Amino acid sequence: MTPSAPQLPATVRTFTQLLSSTRRGARLARLLTAGELAAWEVAPDVAERAEQIVAELAANAFFHGRVRGRDFRLDLALDTSAGTLRVEVTDARGDRFPGHRPNAEPDAESGRGILLVAALADRWGTSLYVPGGKTVWAELDSGPACMDASTRPTGGSADGRRPDSSMA
């Protein structure tokens, strides 16, 4: 019999919340994300990028995806075996998809949000949400530094680097 390499247990954590399509709902989405990612012990740099992405997508859901009487939904999924954190924001407007406005004024306060999402995420995209609406998603490669204490390998430093790694 050939011995097999030890496998880390697969851990998938999820969080879903319906939020009102208001400024307050958008702000709450970011605060809830920060709390969940802290509880999941996600690496600070990944958590910070995810919080910025949620802030932008939730603001877009309020400003551009709002339908009176309908909420938007925030979904977070952390898959430690794949090393990914997925953020999804679903709103009620399936007829409006995000895009950069190429003619936006340089000083404009809007029109470049999806560029921020694209810069912060490792992958992002959109999909129709049935029965009506759209989902904008972003994935961040979180790597082994995102693993919770029960699945984190021993021998590394608190910041996820190996003791022998040099500072660049």
> What is the predicted pLDDT for the residue at 44?
96
Is 87 in a helix, a strand, or coil? strand
Instruction: Give per-residue pLDDT as tens, 104-149.
Output: 566 666 667 888 999 999 999 999 888 888 999 999 998 754 444 3
> What is the predicted pLDDT for the residue at 144?
58
Closest to 37 (Cα-Cα) out of 101, 82, 86: 86
Name the stretches of the chain with pLDDT < 50.
145-168
Q: Which domains occur in the chain, in start order?
A: 12-100+110-146 (3.30.565.10)
Is there a contact between 82 and 123 (Cβ–Cβ < 8 Å)? Answer: no
> What is the predicted pLDDT for the residue at 78?
97
> What is the predicted pLDDT for the residue at 157?
33
Q: How much is the pTM?
A: 0.74
Query: How far, in Å, CA of 77 to CA of 54, rounded?
Result: 13
Give the strand order in the sheet containing 12-19: 12-19, 72-79, 84-91, 134-141, 123-128
